[in-house]
């Protein structure tokens, strides 16, 4: 069901500093910051030959990653994003298998402008999983 790894997301307290680390220190190509208000984050994407790294910074008072960054002030891996061909079919199959879809279970538009869902980390070896329609 899952396709390629779309990105690994790293939550950070200071997006500018993290961008400098990837662009300056590591010499990576990094996108401009993009606010995704519906998800409460500001993001940049680090372009790699085989995937992307998404750097996330909390945006707004009710950011769902604010607590994560508080507990991990130096930053940390937040989630893995896999592509799926049909997000509704994937959701229905996962729910039938007993997996928990976070939120109201309906896809929302993610940072790439495509539908996404998040899956409970307790159902996936402790990793928060994002599914994105390819």
Question: Which of these is catalytic: 54, 57, 83, 130?
Answer: 130
pLDDT tens digit string along 30-63?
A: 999 999 999 999 999 999 999 999 999 999 989 9
Selection from 122, 116, 94 nearest residue 41 by Cα: 116
pLDDT given for residue 61 in this prediction: 86
- 102 burial (CB, 10 Å; 0-12 / 13-18 / 19+) is middle
Q: Are 54 and 34 in contact (CB under 8 A)?
A: no
Domain boundaries, the chain: 5-133
pTM: 0.94
* pLDDT value at residue 44: 98
**What is the pLDDT at residue 67?**
95
Q: Indicate the fold that domain 5-133 takes in CATH.
A: 2,3-Dihydroxybiphenyl 1,2-Dioxygenase; domain 1 (3.10.180)
Give Cβ neighbours of residue 132 (< 8 Å, ≥ 6 apart): 6, 81, 82, 83, 84, 87, 110, 112, 114, 115, 116
- Told to judge if 106 belongs to the known catalytic residues of this protein, a careful annotator would answer no
Spans in the chain with pLDDT lower than 50: none
């Amino acid at each position: 069901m899952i396709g390629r790894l779309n990105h690994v997301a790293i939550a950070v307290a200071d997006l500018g500093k993290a961008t400098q680390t990837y662009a300056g220190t590591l010499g990576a190509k990094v996108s401009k910051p993009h606010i995704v208000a519906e998800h409460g984050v500001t993001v940049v994407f680090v372009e790699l030959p085989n995937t992307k790294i998404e750097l996330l910074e909390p945006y707004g008072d009710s950011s769902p990653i604010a607590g994560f960054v508080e507990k991990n002030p130096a930053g940390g891996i937040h989630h893995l994003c896999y592509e799926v061909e049909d997000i509704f079919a994937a959701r229905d199959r996962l729910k039938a298998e007993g997996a928990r879809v976070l939120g109201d279970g309906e896809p929302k538009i993610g940072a790439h402008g495509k539908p996404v869902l998040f899956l409970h980390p307790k159902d996936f070896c402790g990793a928060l999983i994002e599914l994105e329609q390819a």
